[in-house]
A and B are shown apart, each in its own frame.
Chain A
Amino acid sequence: MNGIRHDDIRHDDDMTALLSTPVDAGTLSRLHRRLEQAAERANLVDVAYTTIDSPVGTLLLAATPEGLVRVAYANEDHDRVLEALGRQLSPRILRAPKRLDEVAREIDEYFAKHRQVFDLTLDLSLSRGFRRLVQTHLPEIGYGQTRSYRDIAELVGNPKAVRAVGTACATNPLPIVVPCHRVLRTDGTLGGYIGGLEAKTTLLNLEAAA
């Protein structure tokens, strides 16, 4: 990408090699941490993110200064999710785990069955209109319980909007924390899930076994 553009440079490869002094990973990560701190102090980090390991795979966690804005499963492709956040929110995106410390802790507690309710500030700015309305109501489904798409449609006062509720669940930007996994088909079958059916089953089993 930053390729050398002229032939005349070839004779000077030795100097290029000599001056391109080694930069070890430790140096770069030390500088990165310093950048994270300085950028946070200067209010330049519009989106901070980190990744954590969980029983449902590696999760991407992203937060704006307003709150947690995105939880993404590995099957969503984290690089693409970050690119999308760049378009939707701001390209000032930095891997800055500190802002996500509390989120990561609560998710760990959830998977360790030490937590049933998330106590986090959410930024719902990725959703609008009816989807946002549905996502706002999903936390009303308690831990270990399930509802049908139809129940949710009735809950939000629009009993005919069953399909739209399905779409709202499928596009939930905050899975796990906003519990769209607790919404099933009326006949009790799983329906879809943003993280795949295996993840949905894992979450439902985890909560049922509590």
Chain B
Amino acid sequence: MKQPFENVVAQHGATVLRVCRVVLGPHDADDAWSETFLSAMRAYPDLPETANVEAWLVTIAHRKAIDVLRVAKRSPLPVDEVSEAPTGRGVPDPGDSDLWAAVKGLPRKQRQAVAYRYVAGLAYAEIAEILGGTVEAARRAAADGLKNLRKRYPGAIAKGASS
């Protein structure tokens, strides 16, 4: 049975925001989140009852993030150039800026694959469908992304080694 849309927001809102943060950085994540759930609410009545709701939401978030990136590219303002600058939007920076700088340094496809795999927990087949390549390519993008991220963000290695 299809749940009231409010339950979808309650169950998946936090995960979708985390995914948006990894794909876009914390500053633009809120906009992408809002666009994602608005668009999802519009399409919700047509979603098959058997669908994986989280994979569906991440697919929408993926498209909305691309829109946000496109707008940012056209915008004359430099985006996120200086990490010590305040966000100016009243949004507290979740996590440390070194991490976001490292994530931002990844090639886009790796960043997306890492987000959908390690934050949303999607299967590689689902990720391949979102990214539009083979399952193997999705697996490779996630693995490469992770490897690069460990290289760029030594804090992760320390945390990993201590456990």
- Residues of A at the B interface (CB closer than 8 Å) are 1-6, 9, 12-23, 27-28, 31-32, 34-35, 38-39, 42, 44, 47, 49, 82-83, 85-87, 90-95
Q: Are A93 and B146 in contact (CB under 8 A)?
A: no
Q: How far is the CA of A20 from the CA of B119 in the complex (A)?
A: 6
Find out whether the CB atom of B117 lies under 8 angstroms from the CB atom of A95: no
Pairwise interchain contact B4-A2, C-beta atoms closer than 8 A: no
Residues of B contacting A16 in the complex (Cβ-Cβ under 8 angstroms): 118-119
Cβ contact within 8 Å between B22 and A19: yes
Q: List 6 A-B contacts (CB under 8 A).
A: A13-B163, A14-B156, A27-B91, A31-B34, A35-B9, A90-B45
Question: Of residues B12, B34, B114, B118, which shows the largest number of chain A Cβ atoms within 10 Å of its Cβ?
Answer: B118
If A23-B17, A27-B17 touch, whether A15 touches B150 (CB-CB below 8 Å) is yes
Contacts of A1 in B (CB 8 A): 11, 54
Decide yes or no whether B133 CB sits under 8 A from chain A.
no
A42 touches B1 (CB 8 A): no
**Residues 110-163 of B contacting A (Cβ, < 8 Å):** 114-115, 117-121, 123-124, 146, 149-150, 153, 155-156, 159-160, 163
Contact of A31 among B12, B13, B115 (CB under 8 A): B13
Q: Tell yes or no: B84 within 8 A of A by CB.
A: no
Query: CA of A1 to CA of B103 in the docked complex: distance in angstroms?
Result: 26
With A27-B17, A35-B37 given, name 5 new contacts (CB 8 A).
Answer: A2-B121, A6-B124, A42-B42, A83-B3, A92-B44
A28 to B29, CA, bound (A): 12
Give B95's nearest chain A residue, CB to CB.
A21
- Contacts between chains A and B (CB distance < 8 A), count: 121
Q: Whose C-beta in chain A lies nearest to the C-beta of B163?
A: A14
User: B57 to chain A: closest CB distance in Å?
Assistant: 10
Evaluate contact between B38 and A38: CB separation under 8 angstroms. yes
Question: What is the bound-complex CA distance between A49 and B95, given in angstroms?
Answer: 34
Choose one: B34, B44, B54, B156; the contact of A15 (CB below 8 Å).
B156
Q: Are A21 and B94 in contact (CB under 8 A)?
A: yes
Contact among A5, A23, A44 with B123 in the assembled complex (CB-CB below 8 Å): A5
Given contacts A3-B121, A15-B156, A94 and B94 within 8 Å (CB-CB): no
Is B73 an interface position by the 8 A CB rule?
Answer: no
Give the complex CA separation of A1 and B13 in angstroms. 14
Assess the A31–B17 pair: CB atoms within 8 A: yes
Pick the contact of B41 from A13, A19, A34, A39 — CB < 8 Å?
A: A39
Q: What residue in chain B is nearest A14 (Cβ atoms)?
A: B160
B146 touches A15 (CB 8 A): yes
Are A85 and B4 CB-contacts (below 8 A) given A2-B15, A20-B18? Answer: yes
B69 within 8 A of A: no
Given contacts A5-B121, A92-B45, A94-B41, contact A19 B18 (CB under 8 A): yes
Q: How far is the CB of B41 from chain A (nearest CB, A)?
A: 5
Known contacts being A5-B123, A35-B37, A91-B45, is A82 close to B118, with CB within 8 Å?
no
B13 touches A32 (CB 8 A): yes
Contact present for A2 and B120 (CB under 8 Å): yes
Most chain A CB neighbours (cut-off 10 Å) among B6, B45, B146: B6
